[in-house]
Structure 1
Amino acid sequence: MAPSFDISTHTVCVMDASGQLGFRLVQKLLQRGYTVHASIQKYGVDKEMFNEISADSDKLKVFRSDPFDYHSLIDALKGCSGLFYTFEPPFDQPDYDEFMADVEVRAAHNVLEACAQTETMDKVVFTSAATATVWREDRKTMELDLDERHWSDVNFCRKFKLWHGMSKTLAEKTAWALAMDRGVNMVSINSGLGMSHDLSIKNPYLRGAAEMYEDGVFVTVDLEFLVDAHICVYEDVSSYGRYLCFNHIINTQDDAVQLARKLTPAASSSMPQSDDHGKSFIEQRISNKKLNKLMVDFEA
């Protein structure tokens, strides 16, 4: 952490705080001494879920806001020096399909515009995904490893119905364009597949998983590591641009079998036991060196 960074002076907003990442970010930020505005979507979430985190109303304020209600965004961001933004699909449209990109792009646009109108805003940490970097026609022939300098090809995603990758790419590009136009200081976290307790085969990130595995770019991330990465890029004054975030790669048959068992526990008993002892090792073709270098001195 930079010596000049004084946590006690920072009020930050977490949006959407009702998701697993958002909720854990609220907890960790309060533990570190931040004042937190927990912004949750208007419907379907009970504010009471935050009561056990902090009884101090001066340190934690809960807002009901909606990325499609501009005024509610402004209210949640008022007085904040930072925003941690992660998109949660609307309750009435939970599935990623060809229309989700429009929803996610509009949400990103509204949130960044609200940040631009918040005079106290110093930095935005925008949660994107590794699927916004890995889907390219030339990915098998590239000489260099994929990293945060690369973008997924939207037309490629549309052609193969990779809706998660398409949505994340378009939303992140929208956010970057608006941030640069409005002078908003933004960094993005391009997260691998989150290894949450409720991970299932229905997770939209998993479409194209076999191809990601074969290409050596199928990466996952534990929730605690992902939370620490978000806080690190916010607190480090030298952070900039995009950061690929993962702490494991699925590139052996054992890895693939273990993940398959987690995703489909009912069918795990019929899956073959791996006895190849690493013979199916696939070379890693994706790099997170930029983030790892930044986090070397980070104190979680």
Structure 2
Amino acid sequence: MAPASFHQSSNTVCVMDASGQLGSSLVKRLLQRGYTVHAVVQHHGETQFNGISSDDDDNSNKLRIFHSDPFDYHSIIDAIRGCSGLFYTFEPPQDQLNYDEYMGDVEVRAAHNVLEACAQTETIDKVVFTSSATAIVWRDDRKSLNFDLEERHWSDINLCRKFKLWHAISKTLAEKTAWALAMDRGVNMVSVNSGLLMGPDLSIQNPYLKGAAEMYEDGVFVTVDLNFLVDAHICIYEDVSSYGRYLCFNRIINCHDDAIKLARQLTPSAPTLPHSHDQGLRIIQQKISNKKLNKLMVDFEPSRVDFSQNEIQS
């Protein structure tokens, strides 16, 4: 159940977009914790919730499904009406799944619409905005830093554009847009800057992986499993002391064996490359910190819906 410190109206929250792996998992976990959930889906995403109400009669009255998208302002208003919280994660449109130089404009427009709608909805107390570690790690000075990258750092847009890191550009611009609007409109927003999500949908085409070799060499290639990412979102929402940005990961890929294991998951048919004994023992120094989130979650007691059977373990 939600903490007693939350007032009664906070029992209703919205998850947008609930079509994706993170969104649908958040819906299930929130229902288990006693929330009433407005699940906002693109038209292809409703079927994954068909079994929830039949499995649990209590959920049939606590789950409402809305067909909407972040480009339709009025449909956003309808979905979040009466909610005290919004969990927002961007899912690319079905006709534009690949990240390219234009996706940044798409994601920025979506973030703007969602935050503006929240500003116009009196019941919204907190927005948990899912961003990415790629909005933090791409900096010209990253190799010379004598401190770890963390929440106060931002990726350099010019550097990202130079190397066509479209995912990093989109996440950085969208998150900055959301923060600017939240501060201007007085919306209480917290962001979750997630590492690479490990799961059954992970493939070599994942846009997060552009520049993976450089992230690995720089000690900032981080991953997160679905259970931990869902727990982090709910902890951040429920804890009244949460603020600002939170880097969210529970594994760093910083040794040869881990890198090879991940590569095999991404491309199972690729030949195994030989490596020397010294190479196998090499550990790259970690240059990224999630201490802020770990401190927040130290006393968090999650409900348990185990998504691990659907995951590729990191």
Q: What is the TM-score of this pair, normalised by structure 2? A: 0.91
Matched, 1:89 2:89: no
Match of 2:247 among 240, 244, 247: 244
Matched, 1:296 2:298: yes
Q: Which runs of 5+ in 1 are unaligned?
A: none
How many angstroms apart in 1 are the aligned matches of 2:8 and 2:123? 15
Q: Give a deviation string over 1:21-57, Cα, whole Å, max 9, x none.
A: 000000000000000000012x333x23212123444
Q: Alpha-carbon deviation of 1:9?
A: 4.7
Q: Which one-letter code corresponds to 1:40 in the other structure?
A: V
Are the equivalent residues in 2 in contact too, given 1:7–1:34 (CA < 8 A)?
no
Match of 1:199 among 197, 202, 209: 202
**Structure 1 residues 196 and 274, CA, compared in 2 at 3 Å: closer, same or farther?**
farther
Q: Which one-letter code corresponds to 2:264 in the other structure?
A: R
Q: Alpha-carbon deviation of 1:78?
A: 0.6
Are the equivalent residues in 2 in contact too, given 1:116–1:184 (CA < 8 A)?
yes
How many angstroms apart in 2 are the aligned matches of 1:117 and 1:36? 20
Q: Which one-letter code corresponds to 1:107 in the other structure?
A: A
How many angstroms apart in 1 are the aligned matches of 2:278 and 2:53? 50
Match of 1:253 among 256, 259, 268: 256
Q: Alpha-carbon deviation of 1:273?
A: 6.3
Q: Which one-letter code corresponds to 1:263 in the other structure?
A: L
Are the equivalent residues in 2 in contact too, given 1:2–1:237 (CA < 8 A)?
no
Alignment of 1:143-162 (within 5 A): 143-162=146-165
Match of 2:14 in 1: 13
Matched, 1:54 2:53: yes
Please give the secondary structure, in 2, of the residue aligned with 1:54: helix
How many angstroms apart in 1 are the aligned matches of 2:106 and 2:213? 27
How many angstroms apart in 1 are the aligned matches of 2:113 and 2:121? 12
Q: Which runs of 5+ in 2 are unaligned?
A: 303-314
Match of 1:177 in 2: 180
Match of 2:212 in 1: 209
Q: Give a deviation string over 1:163-205, Cα, whole Å, max 9, x none.
A: 0000000000000000000000000000000001121000000
How many angstroms apart in 1 are the aligned matches of 2:141 and 2:228? 30
Q: Alpha-carbon deviation of 1:279?
A: 2.5
Matched, 1:32 2:23: no
Q: Which one-letter code corresponds to 2:40 in the other structure?
A: S
RMSD across aligned positions (CA): 1.6
How many angstroms apart in 2 are the aligned matches of 1:295 and 1:117? 31
How many angstroms apart in 2 are the aligned matches of 1:134 and 1:173? 15
Match of 1:284 in 2: 286
How many angstroms apart in 2 are the aligned matches of 1:224 and 1:174? 28
Match of 1:44 in 2: 44
Match of 1:136 among 130, 134, 139: 139
Are the equivalent residues in 2 in contact too, given 1:105–1:170 (CA < 8 A)?
yes
Q: Which one-letter code corresponds to 2:272 in the other structure?
A: S
Q: Alpha-carbon deviation of 1:272?
A: 3.2
How many angstroms apart in 2 are the aligned matches of 1:163 and 1:9? 36
How many angstroms apart in 1 are the aligned matches of 2:24 and 2:273? 35
Match of 1:73 in 2: 76
Match of 2:274 in 1: 272
Q: What is the TM-score of this pair, normalised by structure 1? A: 0.95
Q: Alpha-carbon deviation of 1:271?
A: 3.4
Are the equivalent residues in 2 in contact too, given 1:112–1:178 (CA < 8 A)?
yes
Q: Alpha-carbon deviation of 1:66?
A: 1.1
**Structure 1 residues 143 and 12, CA, compared in 2 at 3 Å: closer, same or farther?**
same
Are the equivalent residues in 1 in contact too, given 2:52–2:60 (CA < 8 A)?
no
Q: Give a deviation string over 1:98-157, Cα, whole Å, max 9, x none.
A: 000000000000000011111100000000000000000011111210001100011110
Are the equivalent residues in 2 in contact too, given 1:7–1:32 (CA < 8 A)?
no
